[in-house]
Amino acid sequence: MLHTVPRIDDPESMFGYTRSGTSQDYILLGPPSPIRGPTFEKYGDSCVGAYVVRVMSQEDIPYGPVCLAIWPDSELFGQGSPACAVIEMGQLISKNDSALKKTWVRLGVSLYLKDEEVEPIMEGDAETLREVLRDGRGVPDGDSYVPSVTVEKFNKEYGTEYDGEPEFCL
């Protein structure tokens, strides 16, 4: 039997996107344990977290990126209460961390699409693309580069002197 994180009622405000379709369940990858640190202070002093991945409801197949489900305390987890947050692990890095420098890269990616996603993708449906990427069905494996205009912008913003247009073949 699967142990699932109960349905989250407001994914739009929690994740910052609008999702269509049915609710998603999650399978626990391990028991919850206490989590601490500045990132988790807003969830309370005794919050607990457990690693989870999405599971396709009808097929019971785990898929997508590893996430961290958070409960204010272990008692709420034990009662089967919904997690107060489910955060993709890549999103735990603060976008406002002053030690990080942001740049833009044109990234070659292969998408693994369901039949019903092909047409929306080919017609430029950004929400379908976001969903495919959120599900971990986009693999960076093609020609990629940092455009020279982006290198110039990076230099101006961070006081560096990089030259050219770095290219990568993933």
For 60-81, the pLDDT digits (tens) are 667 777 888 888 888 888 887 8
Q: Are residues 82 and 130 in the same domain?
A: no
* CA 118/CA 123 separation, integer angstroms: 9
* CA 103/CA 85 separation, integer angstroms: 28
Q: At what angle do helices 126-134 and 115-122 cross, to 10 degrees?
A: 130
Choose between 84 and 39: higher pLDDT: 84
Q: Let me know if residue 98 belongs to a domain.
A: no
Task: Look at residues 61, 92, 123 and tell me which one is the last residue of a structural domain.
Answer: 92
* CA 24/CA 64 separation, integer angstroms: 12
Q: Are residues 38 and 80 in the same domain?
A: yes
Q: Are 52 and 67 in contact (CB under 8 A)?
A: yes
Is 118's pLDDT higher than 90?
yes
Q: Are residues 8 and 88 in the same domain?
A: yes
pTM confidence score: 0.47
Q: Let me know if residue 100 belongs to a domain.
A: no
* CA 17/CA 91 separation, integer angstroms: 14
Q: Are residues 24 and 80 in the same domain?
A: yes
Task: Look at residues 92, 125, 148 and tell me which one is the last residue of a structural domain.
Answer: 92
pLDDT tens-digit series, residues 83-111 = 888 887 765 555 556 667 888 899 999 99
The residues, ordered by sequence, that sit 6+ positions from 37 with a Cβ below 8 Å of its Cβ are none
Q: Are residues 118 and 67 in the same domain?
A: no
What is the residue type of 51?
Y
Choose between 82 and 111: higher pLDDT: 111
pLDDT band at 3 (very low <50, low <70, confident <90, very high): very low
Number of domains in the chain: 2
Of 31-35, 76-80, 87-91, 165-169, the one with minimum mean pLDDT is: 87-91
Q: Are residues 115 and 87 in the same domain?
A: no
Q: Are residues 138 and 86 in the same domain?
A: no
Q: Are residues 70 and 11 in the same domain?
A: yes
Q: Let me know if residue 113 belongs to a domain.
A: yes
The residues, ordered by sequence, that sit 6+ positions from 167 with a Cβ below 8 Å of its Cβ are 143, 144, 145
Cα 158 from chain centre: 27
Q: Are residues 113 and 149 in the same domain?
A: yes
Q: Are residues 82 and 121 in the same domain?
A: no
Is 13's pLDDT higher than 60?
no
Is 134's pLDDT higher than 50?
yes
Q: Are residues 137 and 72 in the same domain?
A: no
Residue 52: domain span: 4-92
